[in-house]
Amino acid sequence: MLRLRDVDVALNVEGRMRPVLTGLNLDLAEGEALGLVGESGSGKSMTVRTITRLLPHGARVSGAVEFEGRDVLAMRPAELRAFRDSDVGVVFQDPRAAINPTHRIGDFVGEALRVNRGVSKGEAARRSAELLAAVGIDDAERRLRQYPHELSGGMLQRAMIASVLAAEPRLILADEPTTALDVTIQAEVVGILDRLRRERALSMVFITHDLDLALAVCDRVAVMYAGSVVEVRSARELHDTARHPYTIGLLGSRPAIERRAERLTAIPGRPVSAFEAGPGCAFVSRCAFAQDACRASRPRLEAFQGGLVRCHRVEEIHEHSVV
Amino acid sequence: MRNKKQGRIRAVYKWLGPSGTLAALFLLLMVLAAVFASVLAPADPNTGDLLNNYQGSSASHLLGTDGIGRDILSRLLYGTRTSLLGPALVVGVSMAIGIPLALLGAWYGGVVDSAVARVLDLVYALPGLLLAVLTVALFGPGLTPAVVALSIAYVPFLARIVRAAARQQRVSPYVDALAVQGFGVFRISVRHILRNIAPVVLGQAAIAFGYALLDLASLSYLGLAVQAPTADWGVMVSDTDALLKGYSTPVLLPGLLIVGSVLSLTVLGARISGERPEPHPLFGRLFGRVSGSGSERRAADAPAS
């Protein structure tokens, strides 16, 4: 359904082009939920912005972004608007910032219906109320008349999900939908997203820096590092059969509920950005297995044991750890 | 019902503050005077009675008469019409030109925005009064050429503020969220961005109204805009004959109305755009000093998320 091939994106930072995505490859099947996991600055949000062509002025994009065979990057303005309106919906990180504070919730949720679909005002209000009920907001009729500042963060995020559903898209891009929310609300909102996408057979790209959350919600997980994907594997297998040194490091650095709190293992060094990476593997500066070959050339994302891994030494490392 | 009404009045008072409320009341009085001039005026503003010139206050002429015996109160009332109509046209036309330009520049950025900004800078460099004098020199005196010239000169005054505020909104997440829902430039700019920056736009419009009133009064004073027998505050102030003969009322009263209106508009404009005065040590909040920009204050007023 969604295919990204060798996508390079560079942003114009004070006159100099800085790469933020390098050689990004992603595939999403119909009805699948793909988790996109990585540290801050690894390019997760930029991936969403590339798919929806929401990049800032002066950004340079190459490669291919295909949605059901159509090249998103080559779409003309009218096509792009139709694509954004009916094919894809984005749930943003901070609902308080992503919703216009001067419009009532009803206007916000029903706006796409009224403006892009020509649905009548009364009908839009009725459907908006249904959608609010579907995302678990009680007393929907009253909520429709309220302004964003009268609703809690969790409630607003549900309203945003409702507004996305209003357009009946087939692909939902959720960009850290729970990061700005209270911990107790996070589970509810994730639960709603998960239920709705199963009920409506939607495809979803779920972005988070919480590896466990991604493993719980998604069918497959793609781990990003410095602007590209380093490992893709099904959520069920990733926990036990992670093969990329970065993924293994990530899994090892999580606190575990069943163990007493010891000092957590950390990946040495700090995350590098795409523009800091040399000609070799981006992870080379922090990798315990790095060799000259890793510094010389960039590994490709290749199939290995049921997943995709971007590492020169993946076979050697695997054999050694098994022995 | 009554409580609801009282609550609303209190809310307006809280929003505008004492000085802003006073300004709003003064302006309301002016607007009422303009609308009901023909009902309120005791006499025809242009018919003089030469035998009764330079009269003091009396039952038939509440504020006395001028050099050719015209009733000053009636002239002030009718003068409100021309004196407010001119600036209203100026602000209306310059907003109609300036706001779309500013929104376009803010939306597209890059070359479009640079072009808009340079054009605005260019027009900003022309003094409004000079442009008006030039227009009058070309097309002859009258309210229309003066209004047209000032409308053009006032475009940057409004558009620069709108552009700056809209650029800020342009990069905010809710605009991205709307774009990704498939809405177009026009809808996002007008229905969302403009609505969010409405206080800034209206505040600046009120201040522009005051300046335009002053400029047009100056032009009328010089005999370049509104022409002599017509009742207009600027025209009335130019009655030097009265001053030479020692009668100040025919000149002083329209002058006070000009000062009062401009001051009120400036105060009201600042309050609408969100500036809150610090209380003055002696005069309290009525003559408070404004500190901090409007947007800073608004950020502080906004409920915490």
Between A256 and A111, residue with greater pLDDT: A111
Half-sphere exposure for A108 (CA within 13 Å, toward CB): 29
B12 shares contact with chain A (CB less than 8 Å): no
Q: Dihedral sign, CA of A107, A110, A114, A115?
A: positive
B299 shares contact with chain A (CB less than 8 Å): no
pLDDT digit string, tens, across residues A30-63: 999 999 999 888 999 999 999 999 998 889 999 9
| Chain B positions in Cβ-Cβ contact with residue A98 (cut-off 8 Å) | 173-174, 176-177
- DSSP assignment, residue B191? I
Mutation target vs A (from B108, B172, B181, B185; most A CBs, 10 A cutoff): B181
pLDDT digit string, tens, across residues A68-85: 999 999 999 999 999 999
Scan residues 95-134 of A and list those with Cβ closer than 8 Å to B.
96-103, 111-112, 115-116
ipTM of predicted complex = 0.86
A142 shares contact with chain B (CB less than 8 Å): no
- Judged by CB atoms closer than 8 Å, whether chains meet at B181 and A84 is answered as yes
Percentage of residues of chain B with pLDDT beyond 90 = 62
Average pLDDT score over residue span A223-235: 92
Nearest to A54 among B110, B176, B302 (CB): B176
> What pLDDT does residue B125 have?
92
Distance CA B132, CA B234 (A): 15
C-beta of residue A112 within 8 angstroms of C-beta of residue A165: no
Amino acid at A1: M
3-class secondary structure, A226? coil
The token pair at A9 is 């994106």
- Judged by CB atoms closer than 8 Å, whether chains meet at B196 and A149 is answered as no
B133: left (phi over 0), alpha (psi -120 to 50) or beta: alpha
- DSSP assignment, residue B287? E
> What pLDDT does residue A181 have?
85
Q: Is the pTM of this model over 0.90?
A: no
Beta bridge partners of A8: A62
N residues, chain B? 305
- Under the banding of pLDDT at 50, 70 and 90, the label for residue B245 is confident
The token pair at A198 is 């199963």
